[in-house]
Amino acid sequence: METNGYQNRKGSSRNRIFNQIREAGSVSASQLSYELQLSRPTVKKSLDELLEAGCIHENGYIGNTGGRRAGAYSVRADAKAAIGIDLTRNHITVIIADLCGNLVYEKRVHRPFALEDAYLRYLGELVEEAILAKQIPREAVLGVGIVVPGLITEDHREIFYGKILDFTGLTVDEIGKYIPCACRLYNDADAGGYAEISQRRDVTDAFYISLSNNIGGSILIDHKVYKGEGPRSGEVGHMTIIPGGRECYCGQKGCFETYCNAAILADMFQGNLEMFFERLQDNDADCAGVWREYLYYLSIAVNNVRMLFDCKVILGGYVGAHMEPYLDELKELAAARNTFESDADYLEVCRVKKDALALGGALPFIHELWRGI
């Protein structure tokens, strides 16, 4: 029988039934009994438990089963929620994901990061505002995932490398001081990769490269982030692309980060990346030259990743979201470097183009509930 990846290890009937309802959208007791090969009394008992817990509801009738109408069950999407906050140098994004994992609230504000009380207080206000807007009872919030450009300890409680925003050592208790729910920290590229792989049924393993103002990477195996011993796996931004090359903020030279961060493109237009891609579309010669160089360096990194993992390579982040029209050109460059393959069809553009990072901060809470229910 096909499993959906979120059934708990014990494989309890209740858990299997919940996930079956969630995947089907709407399903009757007799369908559940048939599809999961469970007796009718077992299905009934589990449905009663899930109804009691408020996680599902009976939402009318579907189809005709032998002249008798069958009651259909659906997940009560608003029964639980998780919040994701994406912090960058200049912006804050807050999202809410419902019990089905759908994005139901989004707010992005311009607010430069500052390690001061007013900023932290503002984070709390943004969360309060989101909860109020969706009228979510406080106890229905499973947790808040705070996504940052930094490396996070295994327990999600401390930033142990945070040079980008100069916040090394900052703890979740400090950053979430005014947030009225349980918080965890997540690395930005991992959150983006997790959001992406969560949407994919066809792919279980991938390497996600986040091409934003900084470059990050995430190793995704069996729909989970592989963190390594550090835990600092996937940091492709600091692979050496050019020995002795451009200086990186990390103190090294020639890092991939210094050749393919989004700011290289955006800074041609006072930080406006959209403008860069508009001009590129209009065949602006300066943009075309910079872009050619960008793709050249990117193809080196992409091929290195392919050599190492032999899995799909997914391009995300600000630049990844604009990559579609140029993917064939990048594939050609990457394929030309490949020892074993004549094409680079392993290369893909991210599907989650909006709020991927914030979403990736919220989804782990939702998925834990799917597994544990």
Work out how close the CB of 248 gets to Zn ion at its nearest, in angstroms, rounded to a whole number: 3
Choose between 209 and 255: whose C-beta lies nearer to Zn ion. 255
Contact flag: residue 255 with Zn ion (CB under 5 A): yes
Work out how close the CB of 319 gets to Zn ion at its nearest, in angstroms, rounded to a whole number: 18
Contact flag: residue 238 with Zn ion (CB under 5 A): yes
Q: Which stretch binds Zn ion (CB under 5 A): 15-23, 80-88, 121-129, 246-254?
A: 246-254
Encoded one letter per residue, x for contact with Zn ion by CB under 5 A and - for no contact, window 269-308 reads ----------------------------------------
Torsion angle defined by CA atoms of residues 36, 38, 43 and 44, in that order, rounded to the nearest 10 degrees: 150
Work out how close the CB of 273 gets to Zn ion at its nearest, in angstroms, rounded to a whole number: 21
Contact flag: residue 338 with Zn ion (CB under 5 A): no
Choose between 12 and 252: whose C-beta lies nearer to Zn ion. 252
User: What's the CA gap between 371 and 101, in Å, rounded?
Assistant: 13
Contact flag: residue 248 with Zn ion (CB under 5 A): yes
| Residue 312: φ, ψ to 5° | -60, 145
Choose between 238 and 312: whose C-beta lies nearer to Zn ion. 238
Choose between 94 and 241: whose C-beta lies nearer to Zn ion. 241
Contact flag: residue 252 with Zn ion (CB under 5 A): yes
Whether residue 210 contacts residue 352, with contact meaning beta carbons closer than 8 Å, is answered with: no
What burial letters (b/e) apply to 96-135, b meaning 16+ CB within 10 Å?
bbbbbbebbbeeeeebebeeeeebbebbeebbeebbeebe
User: What's the CA gap between 95 and 57, in Å, rounded?
Assistant: 25
Choose between 238 and 322: whose C-beta lies nearer to Zn ion. 238
Find tokens 């074993």 and name the residue: 340
Q: Which stretch binds Zn ion (CB under 5 A): 5-13, 128-136, 173-181, 256-264?
A: 256-264
Choose between 13 and 214: whose C-beta lies nearer to Zn ion. 214
Encoded one letter per residue, x for contact with Zn ion by CB under 5 A and - for no contact, window 189-228 reads ----------------------------------------
Choose between 28 and 258: whose C-beta lies nearer to Zn ion. 258
Beta bridge partners of 248: none
In angstroms, the Cα distances linking 166 to 66, 114, 122 are 67, 10, 19
Structure tokens at 276: 């860069």
Choose between 28 and 218: whose C-beta lies nearer to Zn ion. 218
Contact flag: residue 250 with Zn ion (CB under 5 A): yes
Q: Which amino acid is at 169?
A: G
User: What's the CA gap between 312 and 202, in Å, rounded?
Assistant: 11
Collapsed DSSP state (helix, strand, coil) of residue 365: helix
Q: Which stretch binds Zn ion (CB under 5 A): 160-168, 200-208, 228-236, 242-250?
A: 242-250
Whether residue 255 contacts residue 237, with contact meaning beta carbons closer than 8 Å, is answered with: yes
Torsion sign over Cα 166, 171, 172, 174:
negative
Q: Which stretch binds Zn ion (CB under 5 A): 157-165, 166-174, 233-241, 298-306?
A: 233-241
Residues of this chain that interact with Zn ion (CB under 5 A) are 238, 248, 250, 252, 255, 257
